[in-house]
């Protein structure tokens, strides 16, 4: 259809949209990775959007793992990591982040230390019996 036969407001809107499309296409051509620039502005935009969708999926996967029990509530660092991923994902989705509150007690505070675990193993009956057997064989 010829623009001359359209309402002047419609023509103005078409021109405005054309300018926006041109700016968007130019932005993609300037900012997209080299390997997807060769297909032209529209193909470039589609490919770049596909990469963004893939990146959001990667953040979703990392967020799911980090927000699982035993990870997010292990200690303050892991809690902060989970909330950081929640923020990143919410930013990508343009929604308000739903942060995880800190637990009443961190799992790392409930877990025995490595020294405690080693002491428990060394002081066990099985180790005493094994030592006794070795001593008996040597003597």
What would the pLDDT profile of 42-92 be if each residue is shown by its tens digit? Answer: 676 777 778 888 888 999 999 999 999 999 999 999 999 999 999 999 998
- Please count the structural domains in the chain: 1
CA-based nearest residue to 48, from 19, 27, 20, 22: 27
Residue 131 within any structural domain of the chain: yes
Cα 22 from Cα 42, distance rounded (Å):
10
Residue 130 within any structural domain of the chain: yes
Residue 133 within any structural domain of the chain: yes
Domain span holding position 122: 110-139
CA-based nearest residue to 49, from 74, 67, 27: 27
Give the model's pLDDT for residue 1. Answer: 46
Residue 115 within any structural domain of the chain: yes
Residue 16 within any structural domain of the chain: no
Give the model's pLDDT for residue 32. Answer: 67
Confidence of residue 35 (pLDDT cuts 50, 70, 90): low
Confidence of residue 34 (pLDDT cuts 50, 70, 90): low
Residue 137 within any structural domain of the chain: yes
Residue 54 within any structural domain of the chain: no
Q: What is the pLDDT of residues 89-111, one digit of tens each?
A: 999 888 999 999 999 999 988 87
Among 37-41, 45-49, 120-124, the minimum mean pLDDT is found in 37-41
Residue 138 within any structural domain of the chain: yes
């Amino acid at each position: 259809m010829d623009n001359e036969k359209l309402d002047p407001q419609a023509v103005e809107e078409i021109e405005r949209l054309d300018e926006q499309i041109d700016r968007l296409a130019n932005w993609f051509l300037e900012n997209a990775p080299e390997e997807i620039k060769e297909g032209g502005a529209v193909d470039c935009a589609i490919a770049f959007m596909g990469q963004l969708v893939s990146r959001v999926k990667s953040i979703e996967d990392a967020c799911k793992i980090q927000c699982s029990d035993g990870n997010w509530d292990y200690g303050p660092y892991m809690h902060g990591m989970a909330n950081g991923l929640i923020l990143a994902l919410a930013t990508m989705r343009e929604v308000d982040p739903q942060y995880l509150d800190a637990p009443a007690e961190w799992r790392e505070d409930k877990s025995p230390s490595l020294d405690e675990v080693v002491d428990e193993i060394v002081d066990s009956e099985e180790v005493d019996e094994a030592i006794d057997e070795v001593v008996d064989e040597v003597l």
